[in-house]
Amino acid sequence: MPCAYGAVYTYNTGKPNLVSACSGTRIYGKFEKNDLSFFISFKDLDKFINGLKETHKKGLRCPLLPYLGYPPKPPNDVFSKY
């Protein structure tokens, strides 16, 4: 369980951790097999957010997660052309 390992290690040590995505993350979070999970402690959260804001101001954008289907969209009307 790499994801649990990442969270527990970070909680116990206060150090950031980078691990491969576990099966739950791949199934429910729609991560790919080659994606990584990054964990930081709550004490570093403000520093991390401020860093993201500064990089955003300079034009560097964080990648967005793929659309997971929430909220669901109505199906396309397949008969609208007929």
The answer to whether residues 61 and 43 touch, using CB atoms and an 8 Å cutoff, is no
Quote the number of domains for the chain: 1
The answer to whether residues 40 and 48 touch, using CB atoms and an 8 Å cutoff, is yes
Using CA atoms, how far residue 72 sits from 50, 68, 69, in Å, is: 32, 9, 5
* 47 inside domain: yes
For the stretch 3-42, pLDDT in tens is: 777 888 999 999 999 888 878 777 877 888 888 888 999 8
* 25 inside domain: yes
For the stretch 56-78, pLDDT in tens is: 888 777 665 566 666 666 666 55
Q: What angle do CA 17, 23, 28 make, to 5 degrees?
A: 100
* 36 inside domain: yes
Q: pTM for this structure?
A: 0.57
* 43 inside domain: yes
For the stretch 45-58, pLDDT in tens is: 999 899 888 888 88
* 71 inside domain: no
Tell me which residue range forms the domain holding 43.
2-57
